[in-house]
Amino acid sequence: MIVYFTGTGNSRYCAAFLGEQLGDSCLDVLPLLQSGAAADLRSERPWVFVTPTYAWRLPRLVRDLIRGGRFSGSRDAYFVMTCGEDIGNAAAWNRRLCEEAGLRYRGTLPVVMPENYIALFTAPGAEEAKAILAEARPVLRQAADWIRAGADFSAGNTGGLDRLKSGPVNSLFYRFYVRTGPFTVSDACVSCGKCQRLCPLGNIRIQEGRPVWGDRCTHCMACICGCPAGAIEYGRISRGKPRYQCPE
83-118 confidence digits (pLDDT tens):
999 999 999 999 999 999 999 999 999 999 998 888
pTM: 0.93
pLDDT at 193: 95
Average pLDDT over residues 154-177: 92
205-245 confidence digits (pLDDT tens):
999 999 999 988 999 999 988 899 989 988 876 666 667 77
pLDDT at 125: 85
The alpha-helical segments, DSSP class H, found in the chain are 10-22, 30-35, 60-68, 90-101, 126-149, 160-164, 170-176, 194-198, 222-225
CA–CA separation, 29 and 4 (whole Å): 6
CB atoms within 10 A of CB 241: 16
pLDDT at 117: 87
14-63 confidence digits (pLDDT tens):
999 999 999 999 999 999 999 999 999 999 999 999 999 999 999 999 99
Complete domains list, the chain, with CATH = 2-173 (3.40.50.360), 183-233 (3.30.70.20)
